[in-house]
Structure 1
Amino acid sequence: MASRIFRDSNKDNAGDFIGESAVTQSCEPCMKTNISKTATVFCKDCDEYLCDTCKNPHTVYKPGQHNIINVQDNTSAPVIIDMKGMDKCHEHARKIVFFCQDHSKLCCLSCVHIHRKCDQLDEIAQVSRQTRPDLQAIKQSLIKLRTEADAIIAECKQSETGLNESIAKISAEVDTMKDRIIQLFEEAKQKLISEAIQFQTAKVKRIGNQCDASLKVKEELNNVLSMFCFVIERGTPSQQYIYSEQMKEKRKTIESTIDEQRKITFSSTMTVSFPKQVTSLLEMGSNSIKLNYDGYKTVDNSSISLSSPPWPVTLELLVSVDLPKTGDNVKEPFLTGLDFLHDGRLVAVDNFNWRCIILNERLQRLGTPYKFKYHPYSVVCVSHDTLCVTWAGKAVCLLSVSTDNTITLTRKIKTSSKFRSICCMSPSNMVVSTYEDPRHARIISMDGVESDFDHSLTFPMKTYKPDESNCTYVQSKNTLVLTDQLAHTVYMYDTVNGTSRAVTNENIQEPRGACVGPGDTVLVCSENNNSIVHLSVDGNILGTYPVNMKLPSSICVSKDGTRLAVSNRLKGIKKLHVYKISPVMS
């Protein structure tokens, strides 16, 4: 087979784009019938390559002289390049012979039937003799594009290397911070123990002095009492009378001494307290350290870390359960309050059946539900084992939850307002929404002390019914969020600057429950749209997520921000869903 490889000057013409190209001579008559055979001879008079089969018919039937030579002997004839299918029509697999200027399309004989009415359909063999394409310019542009591709590849590799180095740097920075915190706590511990020992030494000395004084009193009483025996048994009436009068004075003195000693009290225990910043850090758990990326860096006053800007998320349904009336329910369950414990267990309050329930990750009930005396409304987990529940009337109650899922009432707090929803503002304070009260949101401490937000916050001039408004509070942004069901509005209040904004959108229809979402965002149940709306604290809508339930009303997010629970209020078809939350980083 006659062939050769471009390796010198011709290599730049083709090899840069498609690699090395084999140059072969094919029989031209065979090619006209779509047969590929290698040419063995060349007719110099007809300027045509021929195979052994076509050579004889060529000389016999084609008029004129025919100077036939072997292909190997032809050094001046043009070569035919194997185009590797590029000269074939992609649609019909036939040889390209025309170019349609109207559609800028290379055409085969089959394509001509489609383009026969076009104004300018050129035969390539003819126009290629008249106009030479500027292949060098095209080649240079392709080389430039290859250079740009190389640059992008280099940037990608550099970015990948940078990310790998960032992970190592992040790990080192976190370890350094951890070591500093451990060292700080160790120093604080040593200082605390030293102070405790000094306190103990001083108190023990005072305790010793008190004990010595009491021992002297006891010794004196023992002597007096032993003398009493002799006087009573053997003393004369005169002696008994005299001793009696003297003992009356002695008794007053001893009583006075005993009273003074009794007033001196000493605690037998010492305790330790931690500042709010430390307890806040513990409450935040794994969320206390957050990732910065793409140059964003926003100060978070409630955390030692820097937070990222809000991003959209995706929701993946993990588990769904129906909530029918069962044997131990008086009525069909209606979950008006949801929250996750720090260990991932889900807490739900059933308004219709007056119960508090603990559920595992498969939404299976754990332990025995706690039975309230009134209809519960909402629940919030205020520590790893403490819940606070609002209920009908002017009261909230604190519940403790053990590791074996035993729920115990620890304290009932009477309030001056009627509360509906509840959420955490700090480790010691909670934010509650009200009903039948013009103050739509208030603050209540763990000790039961009620207070109001700054007067610069302007609430709508109305009062709500129990199910018309709910609240949540974004601690890091000092932002109070209130939903107004009938106004189809979500209010955002900056509690530091006293500013507010009312967020309305076609996606927000009868908003109900609200909670803090990943990245200090807000998730709201849009009841009439059967969806969850995701907002930033600036009021921007980050996404809308349909849920396979009608009238979603209650919602909460796990402490690590990876799971979302939502329940609905449709009579006869009540459901509870748990979703996996994943960020959309693109």
Structure 2
Amino acid sequence: MATVKLCDSNRDSAGDFIGECSVTQSCEPCMKTNVSKTATVFCKDCNEFLCDACKNPHTVYKSGKHDIVNSHDRKSLLLGVDMKGMDKCQEHDKEIEFFCHDHAKLCCSKCVLIHRKCDLLDEIANVCGQKRHELQAVKQSLINLQSEADSIITDFKHSETGLNESISKISSEVDAMRDRIIKQFEDAKQKLITEANTFKTSEVRFIENMRDASSNIKEEILKEVSMCCSVLERGTPSQKYIYSTKMKDKLNTIESILNKQHSIKSSSTLTVSFPKEVTTFLEMGDSVVILNCDRNKTAETSPISLSSLPRPITLELLVSVNLSKTEDDDKEPYLTGLDFLPDGRLVAVDNYNCKCIILNELLQRLGIPYKFNTNPCDVVCLSSDECAATLGKGKLVCLLSVSKDNVIRLTRIINTTSKFYSISCMSPLRMVVSSYDDPRPVKMLSVDGAESDFDHVTFPVTTYKIDESMCTYVQSKNTSVLTDRDANKVFMYDTLNGTSRAVTNNNIREPCSACAGPNDTVLVCSKNNHAIAHLTVDGDVLGFYPVDLKLPHSLCVSKDGTKLAVSNSATGAGKLQLYKISLAMS
């Protein structure tokens, strides 16, 4: 049995001779940089093979003593190595001496008694040279794994640094937003005070004029009272008759003047009111700022419910109505935008007739439509009683209030820098819009009119024409969805990580309007094959569902995910349909 071992079990061929075979050792520092150079020396203290180029840096820059010997000096390399128990049989705690090929097992002298009938049982001292060629590969694998571990450690260090930097950035971003809000309130306050003082100056002048007029009337009345008393006390009967007759008309005139002055009210107090957006903002409490984390959680740290996984759906037609021209329509209706209010009412915009209408669950009109000055493109419901509609041609976004008794009122007009078509909700105070005739196809728009771009997303360098591209936003997945009609593609953009994927499929033909579907999925109108495509935000296709109307153009899903409304763009065959959504059993 051999009693001498190589100085390192993961070095193949340490320069000694085994039988008739002489092997060459490579320089270990060079191997870490994937360079193969023959080792000429060996450091006994550091247990490391070195080439001539690495010898001097090794002794100069590496601490400790260095006993350098020639790598071909066989006697210098035949050193024992502490195998840390690896050369002991775990079962019998005896030194391993044999290898059973039949069972691929290392054996001690006691194990041999069990394996004595095996066909291939070798003494390690006799066959150790056969494994030499494999040891270099093992070492290279270990070196590669070490490099991979170093890379992972570096990545985690960068992650830690990035985390610290992002936390610092969070604080500055929140402070910046706070300062912006405070400045906006201070500016509004100054404007309010200026308007109040201007109003006060005008109102005080008015009050003074009215007071002077009333004083003049009072003086006239006092004169007549004095005259009347004199006539009553000393006047002749004829004078009394004449004065009484003339005063009837004068009394009527004075009374008329006083009544008119009574009817004119001056403002003695001023009050201030705040838009609903401000009160909604305050009601959000500490949820007004949300922390986003882009780390992918594993199943162990974040269990996933099977019921929340994306699944195929079934569509059942509930109601279908033909869109015909009515008495108050100039043209046949063309519904280019749809969205559900939380209570289930459907809001739609009619592009051709410049209207916003409300419909019930039977797709019947409720209330009086709101009339725009130009053609609306799309509509989104921001809350239980507020909607936003895009008027792309006019570069406008209109904020509308919708009452429970179906009255639509204009609350605000936002002037935009681009022509916006589709619009979806990102948060109660922010929307995502698609643009046309603009090199930036997707933007964010706040309710106060501020436009911004996504920081981590690179959209196609394409200037779309009207109706060539639309977008939507899946809030829970921080995913912006963009359709490209002519390319037959649907793009999914992770707005946090900055990643994207393009979805193509033979069944997706001229995709147009898109909306968020059940369980954080996406539904897209596949216009040219009269169907609805069902996709995940990861780009997987869950299914295709033919619909009973030609050229589907616009769609939306109810807030509870149970209903789908679809309208089309077929001239002379316009329809609006309502479907029931059910999750498929498999």
* TM-score, structure 1 as length reference: 0.49
Question: Considering only CA atoms, is the larger Rg found in Structure 1 or Structure 2?
Answer: 1
What TM-score comes out, normalization by structure 2 length? 0.49
